[in-house]
Structure 1
Amino acid sequence: MNSAYLDIIRIRFLMMLAYRVNYYSGIIIYAINIGAYYFLWDAIYGVQKELGGFTLAQMTTYVAVSWMARAFYFNNLDREIANEIRDGSVAIQFIRPYNYLFVKLMQGFGEGIFRLLLFMVPGLVIVCLIFPVKLPTDPSVWLLYFVMLIFSFLINTQINMLVGLFAFFVENNEGMLRMKRVLVDLFSGVVVPISFFPGWLAVTMKWLPFQAITYLPSSVFTGRTTGQDVWIVLGVQLLWFLLLIIPITWVWRQARSRLFVQGG
C-alpha cells in the first residue's frame, strides 16, 4: 500500500484521538442502549426458551456484539463527501495525485481502527461484566468474525460513499443521509434481527446488502451459523463488496462531469 495512504490512516487516527473523551462517554451510552435492549428482550422472551431462532443467551450476545460492531464500522463519510461537494472543495481533489474515494476509505479505516481499540474492545469488556454475554471459546470463530467485521466496514463505507456522491446530483441530500442511517440500522439487524421480520420482508433482505453489515457476522459470532454455512455467509459479504464497486464507479464517473459549486 502506498505510504501516503498509510499516513492518511495515521492522521485520521490521531484526529480521533484528540477527541477521545467523546468516545469514552460513547461507551457509556452504548452500554445503556445494550442494557435497554437486554431488559426488553428478557421481558419479551418471558418463559419461552427460543424466539425467532434465538435463545435468550444468544439474543443477549447478539445485541451486545451488534452494537459494539457498529462502533467499528460506523462513520460519517457520506456527510463528509456531501459537504465537500457542496462547498466545492472536492474540485481540488480532482487534480491531486491520488484517488479521492480511496482516500475517503482510508480515512474511514483510520477512524475505524480508533473505534475498535478505544471504543469497541473496552466497551465489550464492560458490557460482558454487566450482562450475561456468552463469548465463543473457539479461536477460529474470533478470527472469522474479525474478517467478517472488516467486510462489514467496507460494505457500510461503500453505501456511505454512494449516498454521499448523490450530492453531485441534488442541491441538498440531507434527507437522504438521514434516511440511509435509519435504513442501515434497521435492515442490517442492529435494531431487530432479520429473522424477526415478516416472511416477505426477511426474503427481500436476502437480496439487499444490509444483512452483510451486522446480521450475518453476528449470527456467526453467536453460533447460529456454523459449519459450511459460515463460508456461505462470508461469500455473501464478498459478493456484495464486489457488486457495490460497480454503482460507485459509475456514479463517480457521472459525477465528475456534473460538479456544481454552491456558494462563492
Structure 2
Amino acid sequence: MRSLPSPARNPYWRFLVTGFRGQSAYPLATLAGLIANATFGLLKGGIMGAAVESSGGELAGYTAGTMAAFVWLGQGMLGSVNMWGGSDLQTRIKSGDVAVEFLRPVSVQAAHILTDVGKGLFALLPRGLPSVLIGVLIGGMALPPGAAAYALGLLSLLIGVAVSHATMYAVATSGFWLVETRGISVLYVAVAGLFAGLFTPIYLFPDWLLTVALLTPFPAMMQLPIDVLSGQVTGVAAWQHLGMQLGWLAVALVVGHLTTRAGRRRLEVQGG
C-alpha cells in the first residue's frame, strides 16, 4: 500500500517554509520593525483617539476602544501584508533570471506568492503579536467580544496576507512589458495604503471615495481583517467580509496566472 506523501516533500509547502525561515534570519531588522510599529502606533493612536473624542465619543461607528483596536491591529499587520510595492519577481524579471524559473517543474506564481506569504506569517510572531499586546496594555484597545471573532479574525487575517502578496505578484508581472516598474510600485504604495485602511478607517471616507475603495482589492488586505478580528463586524457581516476577501484572492490569482502565461510567451518570442 502506497503511503501518503509527506507535506515536507511537497515543493510548495517548502516554498512557504523557506519564506518563513528566511525572514527569521534578520532579527535586528525585525526588532527595528517592531520599534517602528510601536512608535507610529502611539502617534496614530493619539491622533485617532483625539478625533473620536472631539466627535463626542463616537466616529463613524468607532468608539475610543474600537478605534484603538483598529490602530494596533493595523500596526500588527504591517510586517505581514505587502503595502510597500516590493517583490523579488520585479528584480528577477529585469535581470532575466525569471527565465530559469520557467524551466522548473513548479508554478512560478505559486513559488513567489507562497515564499512571500511565509515571510508574512513569520512577521506575525515577533512584530504582530507584540504590537497588539502594546495596544492592549497601554493603547486602550477594546478586545473582541467572543471566541468566534478570534477564529474568524485569524482566518480573515491569513486571507488578507495572501491577497496582498497575490496582488503584488500580479502588479510585478508588468515588468514583462515595462523596462522600469518603479513608477508602478510607487503608485501601488500610494493607492494601497489609502484604500487598505493604513492611515484611517475607510469608513471615514466620503461615500463616493468609499465606493471606489470597495471596488479595489486593497480593503481585503487590512480593513476587512481588522473589522472581523476586532469584532467590529460579527455574524453574517463577518462571513460577508470573508467572502469578499476570497473573491479578491481569486481575482488576483487569475490575473497573475494570465499575465505570467503572457509574460512567458513574450520571453520566448524575444529569445529568453
TM above 0.5: yes
SS at match of 1:54: coil
The partner residue of 2:108 within 100, 125, 142 is: 100
Q: In the alignment, which residue of structure 1 is the partner of 2:3?
A: none
**Greater alpha carbon shift after TM alignment, 51-60 vs 126-135:** 126-135
Q: Alpha-carbon deviation of 1:185?
A: 1.3
Which amino acid is 1:155 matched to?
A: V
Which amino acid is 1:131 matched to?
A: G
Q: Alpha-carbon deviation of 1:230?
A: 1.2
Tell whether the 8 Å contact from 2:153 to 2:230 is kept in structure 1 after alignment.
Answer: no
The partner residue of 2:239 within 227, 231, 234 is: 231
Q: In the alignment, which residue of structure 1 is the partner of 2:132?
A: 124
Matches within 5 A, 1:116-195: 116-195=124-203
Tell whether the 8 Å contact from 1:71 to 1:119 is kept in structure 2 after alignment.
Answer: yes
Q: In the alignment, which residue of structure 2 is the partner of 1:244?
A: 252
- Return the alpha-carbon distance in structure 1 between the equivalents of residues 96 and 175 of structure 2: 11
Q: In the alignment, which residue of structure 1 is the partner of 2:38?
A: 31
TM-score norm. by structure 1 comes to 0.92
Q: In the alignment, which residue of structure 2 is the partner of 1:196?
A: 204
Tell whether the 8 Å contact from 2:144 to 2:230 is kept in structure 1 after alignment.
Answer: yes
Tell whether the 8 Å contact from 1:76 to 1:160 is kept in structure 2 after alignment.
Answer: no
SS at match of 2:104: coil
- Return the alpha-carbon distance in structure 2 between the equivalents of residues 96 and 249 of structure 1: 16
Q: In the alignment, which residue of structure 1 is the partner of 2:213?
A: 205
The partner residue of 2:73 within 46, 65, 71 is: 65
Matched, 1:43 2:43: no
- Return the alpha-carbon distance in structure 2 between the equivalents of residues 98 and 233 of structure 1: 32
Deviations 1:219-262 (A, max 9, x none): 122332122111111111111111222221221111112229xx
Structure 2: 5+ residue runs without aligned partners? 1-6
Structure 1: 5+ residue runs without aligned partners? none
TM-score norm. by structure 2 comes to 0.89
Q: Which runs of 4+ in 1 moved over 6 A?
A: none
- Return the alpha-carbon distance in structure 1 between the equivalents of residues 213 and 48 of structure 2: 22
Deviations 1:168-191 (A, max 9, x none): 100001111121122111101121
Tell whether the 8 Å contact from 2:83 to 2:192 is kept in structure 1 after alignment.
Answer: no
